[in-house]
A and B are shown apart, each in its own frame.
Chain A
């Protein structure tokens, strides 16, 4: 079975540009998560969805960040405009609901560098 698929794997962009990160969760999973990992702050939850509906976006840093899940098989995380402090590894993850299983599976991450 395919795991969580993220793209791009690596992106280098200039400050002020728009960045879009993409994620395809594991088929049948009800939950989708976006995490960010930096040296200073560790792993932070940005937002998560249940059945395509955003449940908790309290971790989204500011209005420059937005996330969408138009259907069960696709989600995007957009940064506009990007800043050097957004440089991080962004993980997408998915899981089934609590009644089925509670393990959260991670994609390989998108390494973002903003210069």
Chain B
């Protein structure tokens, strides 16, 4: 079974600075997808960024980018120019890519990010 581990329960960063959230995963599959979701106090789950395992290029969405290291099974999220609105719980998640794999999302434990003004 696949597992996702976020080793940082809490992180904090000064506004306008850069912060990196860590995520590692374990799988024997070669075809899969990785995601970062943001959950603000409203509890809504908001997709931040996704990465296809077959793509070598790291995904980028505005101030958010990932460092995908497939061999190391590492998938970190970098937030540049942190803003107060970035304060939230961040979840790393894994999903199988092929029809044969389980189609559910497997989540990490989450990292609570605080932005200091």
Interface residues of A (CB under 8 A from B): 31, 33, 37, 42-43, 45, 48, 50, 55-56, 89, 91, 93, 95, 97-99, 102-106, 108-109, 111
Contact residue among A31, A55, A91 (Cβ-Cβ distance under 8 Å from B45)? A91
Contact residue among B91, B103, B107, B109 (Cβ-Cβ distance under 8 Å from A48)? B103
Complex: chain B residue closest to A99, CB-CB: B99
Do the beta carbons of B105 and A33 come within 8 Å of each other?
yes
Do the beta carbons of B97 and A98 come within 8 Å of each other?
yes
| Cα–Cα distance between A31 and B99 once the two chains are bound (Å) | 12
Residues of the A chain whose Cβ atoms lie less than 8 Å from the Cβ of B33: 102-103
The secondary-structure label for the interface of chain A is strand
Do the beta carbons of A109 and B105 come within 8 Å of each other?
no
Residues of the B chain whose Cβ atoms lie less than 8 Å from the Cβ of A111: 43
Do the beta carbons of B95 and A102 come within 8 Å of each other?
yes
Task: Decide if B44 is an interface residue (CB 8 Å cutoff).
Answer: yes
Complex: chain B residue closest to A31, CB-CB: B103
Do the beta carbons of B45 and A103 come within 8 Å of each other?
no
B42 to chain A, nearest CB (A): 8
Question: In chain B, residues 91-111, which have Cβ atoms closer than 8 Å to a Cβ of chain A?
Answer: 91, 95-99, 102-105, 107, 109-110
Task: Decide if B90 is an interface residue (CB 8 Å cutoff).
Answer: no
B40 to chain A, nearest CB (A): 11
Complex: chain B residue closest to A89, CB-CB: B43
